[in-house]
Structure 1
Amino acid sequence: MPKNHEPLHLVWDWNGTVLNDFEIILRSTNDSFTDHGLPAITAEQYRTLIKMPIRAFYADILGHEPGDEEWEGLDATFHKYYVAYEREARLSDGLPDLFREWSGRGHSQSLLSMYHDDKLVPVVQHHGIAHYFELVQGTLPPRPSRKGLHLQDHLTRLRVDPARVVLIGDSPDDAAAAASVGARVILYSGGFAAAQSLRAVGVPIADSLTAAVALIDEVMAAEG
């Protein structure tokens, strides 16, 4: 534990962090694009362009801001394919051992995602890991476009002091969310975003989840 021996709370991101689903995300995106007469994108294009909100990411790919009807169609088709494929994905390397070890050190943890709550909870249960978390929370309508307000609501529900919180995620939006509530963040480079995008944020980066968890005490000591 940190020097003051207070328990920490670890918030895990889902897609691209806990769930190793990049290939499924890319396949679902391209299947959706095919249905809408759009060209496929490469893994490199996806990792380089990915941003939040997702609608802005699509605007960069399409070369124009999608109208409501176009956006809703693309989003619905993507989710149709993603739901069909998602249980092919596996947990990222090091899991669930890292969950068990973290709890064994006397700390708490939860899972927060921008994925729809009614779809997130069943797939977390499918992987047999729900019992490790104090709260598994996806989004409900009206869904937030950025993660900051979602994280704030998450910590309020948990009654956790943000100063004792570390978020492990895989995107610049995760870093922005943590900063907006006064929490720490460690970014995992094995997820969706290109490493150069993560480095530009200026926060600690780890190339594995094992390395990310190992950085937590150092991050808290440096910023505490």
Structure 2
Amino acid sequence: MNKEICIIWDWNGTLIDDVHTSLECINIILKKHQLATINRENYQQIFTFPVEQYYRKLGFDFTKISFAKLADEFIHEYKKRMLDAKLYPNVKDVLEHLQQMGVKQFVISAMEIGKLKLCIENKGISHYFEDILGLNNNYANGKMSLVKEFARQRKDLLYSSNIWMIGDTEHDFYIASELKWNSILVSQGHHSYSRLSAVGNIVLRNLNDIKKIFSNII
């Protein structure tokens, strides 16, 4: 008998197209602090977790302004725009198809949990997920510990499952690798195709092939 399939989705840049939103917000902060702005290509090459490292790459000097203050400035701008970001094409179709196939789906994100749930509810897709997990702060310092705690709490389910992590950054790949899970990387988000191809063995341009991949597995 085949193992049950569990998919752990990332949110930002994987299901929701918020790259433009994030880029717009960080450029507002860069201008405010008289630093050079960046374009989408630059952004996809330097964005990383923990986000504090990304801010250093942008040129911020934490001896002059704290990372916490910068993170608060970013979130202030992001909150004003976050509900304007759209789901990527075919997201609802893919989630519905997987649910009909009996796949258990979760969201685990480095986004603050309150904002994460608000965004997902706003898009009308909460019912597709067994659980939605996010951080308890706005500092986006990665989700490794969050995923490990999830794995510990749901070990009975995960032990008997074929687990897949789907995300748009190297961070998603490294988490899946450490936990010995399968991974699929999607390059329409916060990291470029070339960057993801250097680490992942399944890298998609978009979500269009997800249904086919899991139809073949199941």
**Which residue identity does 2:4 align to in structure 1?**
P
2:67 is the counterpart of 1:71 = yes
Aligned to 1:14: 11
Distance between the aligned counterparts of 1:144 and 1:32, measured in 2? 17
2:197 is the counterpart of 1:195 = no
2:30 is the counterpart of 1:36 = no
**Which residue identity does 2:109 align to in structure 1?**
S
Tell me, yes or no, if the aligned pair for 2:68 and 2:139 is still in contact at 8 Å: no
Cα distance change of structure 1 residues 17 and 202 upon mapping to structure 2, 3 Å threshold: closer
**Which residue identity does 1:30 align to in structure 2?**
N
Distance between the aligned counterparts of 2:175 and 2:13, measured in 1? 16
Aligned to 2:172: 174
- Describe the SS at the equivalent of 2:165: strand
The equivalences for 1:45-194 within 5 A come to: 45-62=42-59, 66-67=62-63, 69-141=65-137, 145-159=141-155, 160-161=157-158, 164-194=162-192
Aligned residues, how many? Answer: 216
**Which residue identity does 1:188 align to in structure 2?**
V
| Superimposed CA distance per residue, residues 135-159 of structure 1 (whole angstroms, 9 cap, x where no aligned partner) | 0111015967333222122233444
Tell me, yes or no, if the aligned pair for 1:116 and 1:140 is still in contact at 8 Å: yes
Cα distance change of structure 1 residues 87 and 144 upon mapping to structure 2, 3 Å threshold: closer
- Describe the SS at the equivalent of 2:45: helix
Unaligned runs of at least 5 residues, structure 2: none
Aligned to 1:209: 207
Tell me, yes or no, if the aligned pair for 1:188 and 1:212 is still in contact at 8 Å: no
Query: Identity over the aligned pairs, expressed in percent?
Result: 23
**Which residue identity does 1:18 align to in structure 2?**
L
Cα distance change of structure 1 residues 143 and 41 upon mapping to structure 2, 3 Å threshold: closer
- Describe the SS at the equivalent of 1:8: strand
Unaligned runs of at least 5 residues, structure 1: none
Instruction: State the 1:88 CA deviation.
Output: 1.0
Distance between the aligned counterparts of 2:185 and 2:133, measured in 1? 20
2:16 is the counterpart of 1:24 = no
| Superimposed CA distance per residue, residues 77-132 of structure 1 (whole angstroms, 9 cap, x where no aligned partner) | 11111110111111011111111110101111011100001111111111111111
Instruction: State the 1:32 CA deviation.
Output: 1.6
**Which residue identity does 1:66 align to in structure 2?**
F
Distance between the aligned counterparts of 1:158 and 1:123, measured in 2? 24
Tell me, yes or no, if the aligned pair for 1:114 and 1:138 is still in contact at 8 Å: yes
